[in-house]
Chain A
Amino acid sequence: MPLRVWSLAFFLVAIFSPVSAVAQSSVDKPDPPAVDISLVPRVVSNSGSKILWEDPQFFSSPYGRPLTMSLDGENFFLRVSVTVFPQDSRYLLVVQQEVVGKKDGHGHMKTSVQSLLCTPGDRLVFYPFGRDDLKNNQELLLEIMVQPHDKSH
């Protein structure tokens, strides 16, 4: 008789411990992704008619989570964070950047924050150093596109 009681007790512990663990962990489950975001940094020339370099990156993310791209350049470090918030049927895109110059050890820093309302599939372009009006110079841009999350990916 005592053996059966002990066995039953162990059995109940075996059943309920994993259940409680699952319940505990589900409280802290991360938010499911809401949007698919493509961030494509490019170096272009001739007013964008020629692509010299690019490195496309793709993310799935819940709203409100910043996606950060750190770009290591020859004479600068650049950090761009993109955060998407829902706004009615559109997206509010917030782009923050920090630029640190690498020059003789005296880096200067510049920050900016911008935001834009867009609809799914809109093509947004972020120019960290502004648009180049001199057609022969190269310029860096970050192409951003936000779409509803596709669960089949």
Chain B
Amino acid sequence: MTGEPGDYNDFSKVYDAWFPLLFRIVYRMTGRRDISEEVAQEAFIKYYERRDILPKDEGLKYWLIRVVRNLALNYEKRKGRERRAVERHFHEPTHETGHEGERALVREETIQEVQAALLKLPYNLRIVLILKEYGGFAYAEIGKMLGITEGNVKVRVFRARNQLAQLLGKEGT
């Protein structure tokens, strides 16, 4: 899913190889183009300033992912409480009005609905799922990047998909 830079000493090649991956991940994490650009830019600035001491192999990709993960988490902390408060109050009419039957119907989701549902997942579950689905990483790699065990990754992916299923009304029948 991701290309390799070819020459790890060439900043431009590293950028072209991995910008799409980083942007994609942050975009799925935040749903915002401006934040995704800001985070990716910051990550590459940090890489440029430390390029002499950073790994010159796949380890660099994992380092960049950790940086965007932390930057996206900072954004999440700044905005997450307000966003969750909005969604808790305004986006759950089914719980208040008892329209559970409607959510159980099979329906085609819009792209916006799936992205919106992703954003409702807790951060720790969302990052793992996004690294798997949109980063194409193996569980072992995800565990290494996030500093958790592979078993932990498996449980989080499972929980993330279950919660997403509930949000999208996709429980199997």
Residues of A that sit less than 8 Å from B by CB: 38, 40, 44, 46, 48-51, 56, 121, 123, 143, 145, 150, 153
Contacts and interface: CB of A to CB of B under 8 A. Distances in A.
Contact of B90 (A50, A56, A150, A153): A50
B155 interface: no
B77 to A, nearest CB: 9
Interface stretch (B35-43, B55-63, B81-89, B158-166): B81-89
A153 B81 contact: no
A40 B38 CA distance: 23
Contact of A48 (B78, B81, B89): B89
Contacts of A50: 90
A44 B90 contact: yes
14 contacts: A40-B82, A44-B90, A46-B93, A48-B89, A49-B90, A49-B97, A50-B90, A51-B86, A51-B90, A121-B81, A123-B85, A143-B85, A145-B81, A150-B78
From DSSP, what is the main secondary structure of chain B's interface residues?
helix
A143 B85 CA distance: 10
Contact of A49 (B78, B81, B82, B93): B93
A38 B89 CA distance: 17
Interface residues of B, number: 11
Contacts of B91: 49
Interface in B25-58: none
Contact of B82 (A38, A44, A48): A38
A153 B78 contact: yes
Interface of B: 78, 81-82, 85-86, 89-91, 93, 96-97
A109 B58 CA distance: 67
Most buried by B among A40, A49, A51, A143: A49
A65 to B, nearest CB: 21
Contacts of B85: 123, 143, 145
A121 B89 CA distance: 15
Contacts of B90: 44, 48-51
Contacts of B82: 38, 40, 56, 145
B145 to A, nearest CB: 24
A76 to B, nearest CB: 24
Contacts of A46: 93
B138 to A, nearest CB: 34
A145 B78 CA distance: 12
A143 B86 CA distance: 9
Nearest to A36: B78
B32 to A, nearest CB: 13
A65 B86 CA distance: 26
Nearest to B88: A123
Contacts of A49: 90-91, 93, 96-97
Nearest to A40: B82
A150 B82 CA distance: 15
Nearest to A38: B82
A150 B77 CA distance: 11
